[in-house]
Amino acid sequence: MAHSLKRRSRREKTGLYLLEGEHLVLEALQSEAELEVVLYDREFAASSEHTKLLKRLARAGYRCLEVPSPELNRAAATVTPPGILAIARQHKINLESLLANQEVFLLVADGVQDPGNLGTMLRTAAAARCTGALLTTGTVDPYNEKAVRAAMGALFYLPVVTGLGPGEVVKHLEGRAKIIVGHVAGEVFYHECDYRGSLALVVGNENRGPSPEILAQAYARVKIPLWGPVESLNVAVAASLLLYEAARQRYNLGTV
């Protein structure tokens, strides 16, 4: 079962995904995430510190199974298998539930394709205390093993809605949140924009940028000043700057 979750089709069918390594398993324990099973090998259990972790997991009611190292390594995606992994249940939420908050602060990843970029963005969104993230069609699976590692546990805390067309995003956000889009050809610098109130902050595909449907309905298109000889920033870096400027303004108002 575990190794089959490397495939997106299997993750979508089962609603499960893999957590690799002690750090993510510990994060899952601390956040009381829903885990189907924790798998570890004999070498991992030989450490006294690791034994303490396994006992904590068992006391919390998680099922822990020792399996042969070759079986565990087959499921792992990392070059150096960590000796422990867990099969976790995806945290499903529908868009209407996410938008039910009186004031939303959303990250919209519009066609982001690199799993490391997406995971980093989700981690930053959780740190900035976003109320959720929307991922449009064409965006990499947030439960991809590289995205999960880069998110560093953010998926336990940040509600994520996937599979939305750009037009659907616009339709659902109309009258509920202003859409601010990061764009290299933006009309205003990102630090000059007003991010207060219900907000959907959009960053687009690494090469093509945001979808035309979303751009057409944007409250504002913001850009990041580039003083050196580069055309653009990495999308995860750009998202971090925008998210933290929004959080700074909202924090000063006491809404974060």
Share of the chain above pLDDT 70, in %: 98
The pTM of the full predicted model, rounded to 2 decimals, is 0.93
CATH of domain 2-89: 3.30.1330.30
pLDDT score for 16: 96
Average of per-residue pLDDT values in the chain: 94
CATH domain 95-251 topology: Alpha/beta knot (3.40.1280)
Q: How high is the pLDDT of residue 56?
A: 98
Residue 255 has pLDDT above 90, yes or no: no
Domain boundaries, the chain: 2-89, 95-251
- Does the structure show a pLDDT above 60 at 36? yes
User: Order of strands across the sheet with 188-189?
Assistant: 160-164, 132-136, 105-110, 199-204, 178-182, 220-223, 188-189
pLDDT at 256: 57
Give the residue-averaged pLDDT of 177-193. 96
70-84, 165-179, 182-196: the lowest-pLDDT one: 70-84
Phi, psi of 220 (to 5 degrees): -155, 150
Residue range 198-220: average pLDDT? Answer: 96
List of residues 6+ apart from 176 with CB closer than 8 A: 99, 104, 198
pLDDT of res. 2: 86
Using one digit for the tens of pLDDT, what is the confidence trace for 121-175?
A: 999 999 999 999 999 999 999 999 999 999 999 999 999 999 999 999 999 999 9
* pLDDT tens digit sequence for 85-112: 999 999 888 899 999 878 999 999 999 9
